[in-house]
Structure 1
Amino acid sequence: MKLVIFDAAAAIMPLRKDDPAAGSLVVHSSTLLEVLTALFESVWERAVPLSLESRPASPTASAEGQEGALHSRTRDILRLMSAGMKDDAIARALRLSRRTVQTHISDLGRQLGARTRFQIALLAQEHGWLGNPKT
């Protein structure tokens, strides 16, 4: 579904998804606008990046491979967290449980001496864990 919302004051959506030439609906009604905004927020919260390549570890992987996957998993969680994704969205994107994601984030916080997610992202960036090491 295509939807454009302007400053919580108006929204535009096509009348038919298969025929854009059929026209669009302009919504000014505050009740309908609130519903459309809630729908958008709900869909956005569950969204995952298209470029993310996540592959579950094979059950026959060696201990060394599993340690590498754990490091890779932590890095993926950190990257998604620093992009502003919530725990539930990160869990869906990486096919993990929410609790596993929270455990990784807590461990990162302890390791970095950070108390907030924002501090974790800042300190991880300073350590070069997000792919752009500080020079």
Structure 2
Amino acid sequence: MPSCVRELGLLHPHGDDPDAPDVYVPVPPDVAAHRLAHPVERTLLEGQQWLLALRDALSPAEKLYREEQQMAVAPVRVLRERDVIVDTLRKLGRSCRQEFQAAQPGGPRDPVRLAMTLPPMLALVGRGVQYRTLYQHSVRTHGPTLDFMVEVHAAGGQFRTLDELFGRMIIYDRSVAVVRDQRYASHDHALLIDHPGIAGFLAEVFDHAWARAEPVGFDVPHARPAPLTDEKRRTVLRLMVEGYTDAAIATRLGMSTRTVANHVRKAADELGSRSRAQLAYLLAKSGLLD
């Protein structure tokens, strides 16, 4: 007789016949299954009861934790409307004590907004705050932006430019940041990041961009920084070779489409190109953009 049959309880010794000790009687399979499953079911029931007791014990703590989280200030808040954003920036600027970092893509700044920004920036630098701002190269030929930079630089601020910049962001003391909300096409939505870990990461991103940027110097009184025309033209042509339209290049580099077209036209005249496709081929072949 297979031992598994007895182990599964499908056979039971016939205890009523002492003359036949090796005689077994069959046990209905459902009865055998019930006998085998009973200890397992009891263990599962005890485990379920333990889980219910554990949840009941932790329920008050979980409720308290959720209430505290709802009352706590969220690390990221949405700022809507330009006035709200401006007021928030002013408040953060007044509380800034050590370091100010700003990335301002989009080319030349609005003169009216620059005039409004100048007094608080001078006050910030006057308190001894380290001031650093990144612009795009195209601001080097924009009078109002240059005037703004001259005054802030005279007070101790520093400026550098890049051909391309990531999104607009302002960081205060490497602990709080305001960035544009990329979900909206307009500039009337921003995100206030009140989290030192995230703001610190953004500050490091800024530091890497700052290390690659071209310094804007004002060593000579009333001097204007070099426009970096050659570098700007190479960037324009590189993007043109990659297939970008004049409008897309202008948006990325913060300049007008007319300026982009002038750079492309001058390069075409120099290389004797008759079409945009031929110019892209000649530029790639010449190695001038390497």
Using structure 2 for the length normalisation, give the TM-score: 0.24
Q: 2:269 aligns with which of 110, 123, 132?
A: 110
> Max radius of gyration: which structure?
2
Q: Kindly indicate which of the two structures has a greater share of residues assigned to strand.
A: 2
Q: Which amino acid aligns with 1:127?
A: S
Q: Distance in 2 between matches of 1:90 and 1:118?
A: 16
- What corresponds to 2:226 in structure 1? 65
**Other structure's SS at 1:107 match:** helix
- What corresponds to 1:55 in structure 2? 136
Q: Which amino acid aligns with 1:91?
A: A
**Other structure's SS at 2:273 match:** coil
Moved over 4 A (4+): 60-64
- What corresponds to 1:126 in structure 2? 285
Q: Which amino acid aligns with 2:241?
A: S
Q: 1:88 aligns with which of 216, 240, 247?
A: 247
Q: Which amino acid aligns with 2:136?
A: R
Q: 1:77 to 1:94 in 2, by over 3 A?
A: same
Shift of 1:63: 7.2
Q: 1:74 to 1:54 in 2, by over 3 A?
A: farther
Q: 1:114 to 1:63 in 2, by over 3 A?
A: farther
Shift of 1:122: 1.2
Q: Which structure has more RCO (C-alpha within 8 Å, separation ≥ 6)?
A: 2
Q: Distance in 2 between matches of 1:54 and 1:111?
A: 29
Q: 1:78 aligns with which of 222, 233, 237?
A: 237
- Kindly tell me the number of residue pairs found equivalent between the two proteins: 77
**5+ long unaligned stretches in structure 2:** 1-133, 141-145, 151-216, 218-222
Q: Distance in 2 between matches of 1:54 and 1:122?
A: 31
Using structure 1 for the length normalisation, give the TM-score: 0.50
Q: 1:100 aligns with which of 239, 245, 259?
A: 259
